[in-house]
Amino acid sequence: MALFVLVVGMASGCTTTSALQPVASTAPIPVITEKSASIVVDGSTGAVLYQASADLPRIPASLTKMMTLYLTFEALESGRLTKNSMIPVSAHAASQAPSKLGFKPGQSIDVDTAIKAIVVKSANDVAVALAEAIGGSEPQFAALMNAKARQLGMKGTNFNNASGLPDPMQMTTARDMALLGMSLRRHFPNQYYYFALHEFTFNGKLVEGHNRVLAKLNGADGIKTGYVRASGFNIVTSVNDNGRQLVAVVMGGETAKVRDQQVVDLVHSYLPMAASR
């Protein structure tokens, strides 16, 4: 199996980075549907180890929240927010469809709990509340998301909301999601631990996540699942195992179980090919 090495210039902070460029692949191509796409990238070198439909437009669903969290981590590192900052929940945020924590307008949530709620619960109300706190409004935050996407080299992505709820203008590619996943790890090593959380406590109750891959793969440390009817089941998985790093993306799975097995199989197949640090 040929490896396609692509150097991804990911300097820390907000500097512009090079995108993972399209490459020819001799990997066996699975049956492709209008929703499916996948890519496996060496997290250390930027080598694309496998891809299928990686540059075709796909619906991100809650993978969108990876960018919402990227901008939240930036706000933390710049001092605009602290983990104890209280974020108000507006009527607009509270009105979001599930999955959500169920806030009423006028309630608030601290940033640390908000991050956990987005990672573990994929809470749409919390994602919008953070967006409004950082951007002033959800549309203004979406503009910040798109500016950051361009800066990171995500050429096939457009965000129109902070949650990933259905929107005809919300599009991405598997390649862009891999690039975003790598950027989160490289730019925010002090915040990245959130993505490995299985659960958190809110109002005295245990809230459990639904990223089953975290328990199925040695070294899995994130990142995000997503689903809306139009997208199918999506996942971006990061693995750091015995000095080897991978980011694997599967989009358009028929069921969560099928999607999870696809990403587990990809990691098992390509982790031995990743560079050892």
User: Which of 36, 38, 53, 62 is the catalytic position?
Assistant: 62
| Burial group, residue 20, by CB count within 10 angstroms (0-12, 13-18, 19+) | buried
The CA distance from 92 to 256, in Å, is 29
CB atoms near residue 236 (< 10 Å): 27
The answer to whether 235 and 226 have CB atoms below 8 angstroms apart is: yes
Q: Does the annotation count 122 as an active-site position?
A: yes
The answer to whether 89 and 108 have CB atoms below 8 angstroms apart is: yes
Q: Does the annotation count 65 as an active-site position?
A: yes
- In sequence order, what are the residues at sequence separation of 6 or more whose Cβ sits closer than 8 angstroms to the Cβ of residue 76? 82, 83, 111, 191
What DSSP assignment string belongs to 204-253? TEEEE---THHHHSTTEEEEEEEEETTTEEEEEEEEEETTEEEEEEEEEE
User: Which of 35, 36, 38, 65 is the catalytic position?
Assistant: 65
CB atoms near residue 67 (< 10 Å): 29
User: Rounded to 10 degrees, what is the CA torsion of 81, 84, 88, 93?
Assistant: 80
User: Which of 122, 183, 231, 238 is the catalytic position?
Assistant: 122
Q: Which residues are catalytic?
A: 62, 65, 122
